[in-house]
Amino acid sequence: MTDPVEIHFKETVLDGLAEVDGQVAVIADEEGKLATGGSRVNTLTRKALGRLLESERWSKMKTGDVAELAFPAAMAASSVLVLKLPRRPTISEARRGGAALAKARGRVPLLVLAGSLKHIADLALGLALRGYDFTPHKSEPEDEHREVTVMCRDPEAVAKEAGPLAAVAEGVFFTRDLVNEPANVLTTDDFAARLAAMHELGLDVEILEEEQLKELKMGALLAVGQGSESPSKVVVMQWKGGGDEAPFALLGKGVVFDTGGISLKPAAGMEDMTMDMGGAGVVAGVMRTLALRKAKANVVGIVGLVENMPSGNAIRPGDVIRSMKGDTVEVINTDAEGRLVLADVLWYAQERFAPQGMIDLATLTGAMIVALGHEKAGVFANDDTLAEQFLAAAEAEDEGAWRMPLGPAYDKLLKSKVADMKNIGGRWGGAITAAQFLQRFVNDDTPWCHLDVAGVAAVKEGTAMAPAGGTGWGVMALNRLIADRFEG
C-alpha cells in the first residue's frame, strides 16, 4: 500500500539551519509574529522573510495559506515555506495548515520549525494526509525524498500524541488505494486477499465464497454478481479489543466495478465506476486503523464484494430474487444493485453477531450527489442517538455529513405487484427510497445508520485534505465514533 510520509519529531536546534537541504517551513501568525526559529530564518534570508510579513500580500493571505520564498540567500534550502497560522490554532486549523504545507512542498526533504505551536501532531496528520500520491501504475514515478522533520518543544510528547493519528493516516491511505485501483487490478479476489493480509495486524479475517453464500441463501447479493466472471464474496473482519460485549458492526458495499448491468450506464464517465466499492474501502480502512492503534472495542467489519456486469447470465429488469431474509425483490433496474448487496450483508450481520448497532456505507445513489454535491455524505438512521453521535464525530473530524429523512410515505414508492418490494422507487427522492429499502432489512431494535457516500468517496478535484481521487472520507469519523462511544 501507499505509505504515509515519514515524520520525525526533534528538539529545536537552530545551529546548522543555513546548511539544511530541501525546504524549510516557518510559521507566523496574522500579525506576522514568527514561531521559534523564524527569526533565525529571517536573518539568514537578509530580512526577506520580514519584508514578506509586512507586505500587502501577507495581509491578504488567509489562515492556513502558504507563501514561498525561493532560493533564499545564505541558505542551502531550495525554498522557505511560510505558513500563516495562529499561535494557538484549532485542531482543524492545524490540520489544514499541515495539508497546505504538503500541497506547497516539493519532492524534497522538509524541515518544519513548529516551536511551541499548539496541536503539532494534528499539523503532522494534515501534512501526511495531503501528501498522498497514488503512483503504482506509473512506469517511471518521480524520484522524491519524502522525509519530514518537525522541530518542536517536547518532541517525545508530540510523538506520543501523533502515534494514534499515524494509524488513522494509514487507514485513510489504505482506503484511498482501494478506491483508486483500477478494476482489472482490484478484482473481488484481489480485494479479499488484501483484507485477508490484515490478519497480520491482529484482525480475524474470514472469506465467505460463493458456495457458502448459497448455503446462507444470500440470493440478492449473488444475483448482482452472477453476470461476472469474478466470484462474489463476503469478507468478515473482526477486531476483538473490548470485553464480552456484542460488537458494533460496520458494513460496506464493495462493487469493484459497476457497468449498471443490463440497465447499462452511459459510456461517458463509466471509468469512474472503479470507485463503486468506496463503502467497503472505508470499512477496510477503519478496521486497519482500529487494529493499528489497538482500539479497546469490539468491532466487526463486513463487506460484500461483487462485480456488476452485463452478460448472458446477468440478472434482468423484471427478475424476482429472494434475499437472505426471505423477502422477494422485483428488479426494476439492475443499476440499483448496491442495495441488493447490502440487504443480505445487513441481515447476515444481525443473524450472526446481534450487534449493538450498525452503520453501512455505500456509494449508493446519484441522487445523493444531486442533493448534497461533493461536500457532505447523506446520513439516514432509525436511531436518533446513533445519528447524533456519528454527526458529532464527523464534525469533529471535518468530514461533512448531513441528516436525511426516512418515513413510511417513501415505502409506498417501493410497492411491487409481483414481489414483496421493488429495488427502486422512481425518480423522486431516490437517495431516500434507497435508504428506505435498506431499512427493511434492519430489525426494529437494532440502532442503524446508512451513509450514502456517493459524493464524497472520490472527487475530481483535490480537497483541503486529499488530492483528486479517493478521499478516504469516513475513516476518521468512524474511528472517532468508536473511540468516543466505546472507548471513552
Q: Which residues are catalytic?
A: 265, 339
Residue 187, phi-psi category: left (phi > 0), alpha (psi -120 to 50), beta (remainder): beta
Longest dimension (CA), the chain: 81
Round to whole Å and give the CA distance between 303 and 290. 16
Q: Are 349 and 249 in contact (CB under 8 A)?
A: yes
Least Cα distance to 121 among 82, 86, 81, 167 occurs for 167
Round to whole Å and give the CA distance between 174 and 472. 8
Least Cα distance to 409 among 391, 394, 428 occurs for 428
The angle at the Cα of 480, spanning 369 to 450, to the nearest 5 degrees, equals 35
What are the cell numbers at 250?
460496520
Round to whole Å and give the CA distance between 93 and 158. 17
Number of other residues whose CB lies within 10 A of the CB of residue 342:
29
Please identify which residue in the block is written with the cell numbers 461483487.
306
In total, the chain counts a number of residues equal to 488
Strands 233-240 and 204-208: antiparallel
Please identify which residue in the block is written with the cell numbers 465514533.
481
Coil, helix or strand at residue 354: coil
What are the cell numbers at 216?
446462507
